[in-house]
Amino acid sequence: MSKQSELVRSRKEAQKIILALKDKTASVVILNLFGKAFKGQGVFQRLGYWLSNIVVMNLIMLGPWAFIGRALNELGQTDDLLWLSGVIIVELVVVGIAIGYGVIQDLFHNIAFVVVERITNDSDLSRLVNWLRSTWSVKNVSTFVLIMAMIWIFSGVMSFGVNKGEFPGFGFLTSVVFVGLFAGVGFYVTFWVCLLASNLGNYQYEIDSFFPADAEIVRNISETLTRNVYILAAYFAVFTLLGSSPLMNGKLRDVASIPFVLIVWVVITAQFTLAHSTLGKIVNGAKLKTLGSIRSTINSLEAKGDITEKETAEKILCLMDIYDRVKTVKGDTFDFKSFSTFVSQLMLPLLGWLLGNLDKLQTHLP
């Protein structure tokens, strides 16, 4: 079997493994579990799938607060606005899980059918598959989710304490635990996108030797990561809009809104920085490979022929001219367009915060 045929076979195997692994990611596992009764491709099956997920996740996250709180007479501690705040947060977490599902579907599809098709050796294919397995292993995902859940529980209890100055009750606490676990699964997708943006620069791709910055794989990685960051930024914009609006409990609104915007900015900045670092790594790697090949050819001509001969000298001079041209090729994808994209992604959560606090801002306007 030829080397090219072996590579084609390895790519097909890697695609099968990656597509199978997609269905084992946390967001997909949760949604497939809760929507299991409606498996199918028909319109009614898909509608039932999503409605089932919405109902089950709401029952899991809001049920303890409602039922345990009622059984233990704890609901008297909860005013209507605090209850509404809890419902809004739960719905945002449900939407976050659904968006994470969509992001995973898109990214895994692109990894399987675009990235894999451009990787040039078996070892890189194996490393990519092993990396995906590792990052979505039960151990790694569980560790991240538990840490996020603990932070969420602490924040929830502290927020209730700030608002009421008393123990929140077992029903509220149980709901906060479940919300924290689901939120952790959603946040893991955001964290994983950052890891992916960093990891994609570690492989060798089929790429144009003389115009690497315009190569198809570079454009695809850039467009895919940019698209998904926009999706996350839009979601965070809605989160900040509702989280800082008058619909939220006043004290929770004041304490949480600005820190959340700052955290979102850190996440968007990290994804932007890692993505362009990866793209630069791919482009510069292709440049160095081309320059190395030209140097080897020049050295070979010098070793085999007399450089004073006209034909040999002309070949060397031609190669040196190509070398200089390749060396001056732009080694990164950062430009005004990418910068404006980054700024617009940052502005989405800020816009959500401004709209959410419009009532407060109006008091400071003439």
Q: What is the pLDDT of residue 303?
A: 76
251: nearest Cα among 159, 361, 172? 159
Domain identity same for 112 and 233:
no
Domain identity same for 215 and 303:
yes
Domain identity same for 36 and 174:
yes
* Residue 202: inside a domain: no
Asked if 224 contacts 110 with a C-beta cutoff of 8 angstroms, the reply is: yes
Q: What is the tens place of the pLDDT at every residue in 149-168?
A: 888 887 767 666 555 556 66
* Residue 123: inside a domain: yes
222: nearest Cα among 239, 201, 246, 243? 201
| Residues in contact with 277: Cβ distance below 8 Å, sequence separation at least 6, in sequence order | 198, 201
Asked if 172 contacts 69 with a C-beta cutoff of 8 angstroms, the reply is: yes
Q: What is the tens place of the pLDDT at every residue in 35-59?
A: 888 776 777 888 888 999 999 999 9
* Residue 196: inside a domain: no
Q: What is the pLDDT of residue 152?
A: 81
Environment class of 232 (CB within 10 Å of its CB; exposed 0-12, middle 13-18, buried 19+): buried
- In the structure, what pLDDT confidence band is assigned to residue 244 with cuts at 50, 70 and 90? confident
* Residue 198: inside a domain: no
Average pLDDT taken over every residue of the chain: 82
Domain identity same for 160 and 298:
no
Domain identity same for 169 and 275:
no
- In the structure, what pLDDT confidence band is assigned to residue 146 with cuts at 50, 70 and 90? very high
DSSP tag of 219: H
Instruction: Work out the widest C-alpha separation in the chain, in whole angstroms.
Output: 99
Count of structural domains within the chain: 2
Mean pLDDT confidence for 96-124: 91
Range of the domain at 25: 1-190
Domain identity same for 342 and 253:
yes
Mean pLDDT confidence for 79-92: 78
